[in-house]
Amino acid sequence: MLKLHDMFKVYRTDEVETVALNGVNLEIDQGDFVAVMGPSGCGKSTLLNIVGLLDNPSDGDYFFFDENVAKYSESQRSGIRKRNIGFIFQNFNLIEELNVAENIELALLYHKIPTAKRKQRVANVMDRMGIAHRAKHMPGQLSGGQQQRVAVARAVVGDQPLILADEPTGNLDSVHGQEVMELLRSLNAEGTTIVMVTHSPSHADYARRTVNLFDGHVVTDSLRAA
Partner 1 sequence: MIWNNIKIALRNLRKNKLFATINIAGLALGLSIYIFGGLLVSYERTHDAFFDNSENIYTIGSVAAPDLNLGIDLMNAAYSAIGPIIETELPDVEAVARTITEEYLVTMGADSYYQMIRFADPDLLRIFSMQYIHGDNTALDDPSGIVISATAATKYFGTTDVLGEVVTLNNEFDYRIAAVIQDIPQNSHFNSMPVMDVVLDVIAPIKALVRMRDWDEAGGYNNLSMGNLTYVMLPSTLDGAWLQTQIDSIFERLVPDSAKETISSIFASPISHANLSIWDSLGLPIVTVVQLLSFLVLVVACVNYANLATAQALGRSREVGMRKTMGATQGQLLMQFLTESVLMASIAMIVAIAALEIIIPLFNNVANKVMTLDYMRTLPWLLVTTLLVGLCAGLYPAWLITRASPIDALRDLARKGKKGSRVRAVMIGAQFAISAFMLSIVAVVYMQNQKINESSYIFPRAEIYSLNRIGVDSIQDRLDTLRHELESLPNVDSVGWSSQVPYEQNHTTTNVTQIPGDEAGKFSIQLLRMSPEFLDTYGIPILAGRNLNRDVANDIYVDEETEVLNVLVNELTLTNLGIASPQDAINQRFFDLDEEDTLREMVIVGVVPTQNIVGLFNEEKPWMYLYRPDAFRIGSVRITGGNMLTTIEEIENVWDRVIPEYPMQGRFLDDVFDEIYNVFKFMNMTLAGFALVALSLALIGLFGLAAFMAAQRTKEIGVRKVMGASSMQIARLLVWQFSKPVAWALAIALPLAYLGSNIYLDFFAERIQSPIPILLAAGSIAVLLAWCTVAGHAVRIARSNPVLALRYE
Q: Which stretch binds partner 1 (CB under 8 A): 2-10, 50-58, 61-69, 214-222?
A: 50-58
Sheet holding 59-64, edge to edge: 17-28, 2-12, 59-64, 67-68
136 binds partner 1 per the rule CB under 8 A: no
Note whether 183 and 149 are within 8 A (CB).
yes
11 binds partner 1 per the rule CB under 8 A: no
SS3 11: strand
Size of the site for partner 1 (CB under 8 A): 25
195 binds partner 1 per the rule CB under 8 A: no
Q: Out of 1, 10, 19, 98, which residue is the one contacting partner 1 (CB under 8 A)?
A: 98
- Rounded to the nearest whole angstrom, what is the least distance from the CB of residue 12 to partner 1 in the complex? 15
> Could you tell me which of 113, 158, 104, 168 has the C-alpha nearest to residue 131?
104
Contacts of 103 (CB under 8 A, 6+ apart): 94, 95, 139, 150, 154
189 binds partner 1 per the rule CB under 8 A: no
Note whether 38 and 44 are within 8 A (CB).
yes
Q: Which is nearer to partner 1, 99 or 188 (CB)?
A: 99
Which residues of the chain form contacts with partner 1 (CB under 8 A)? 49, 52, 54-55, 74-75, 78-79, 81-83, 87, 89, 93, 95-98, 102, 106-107, 109-111, 154
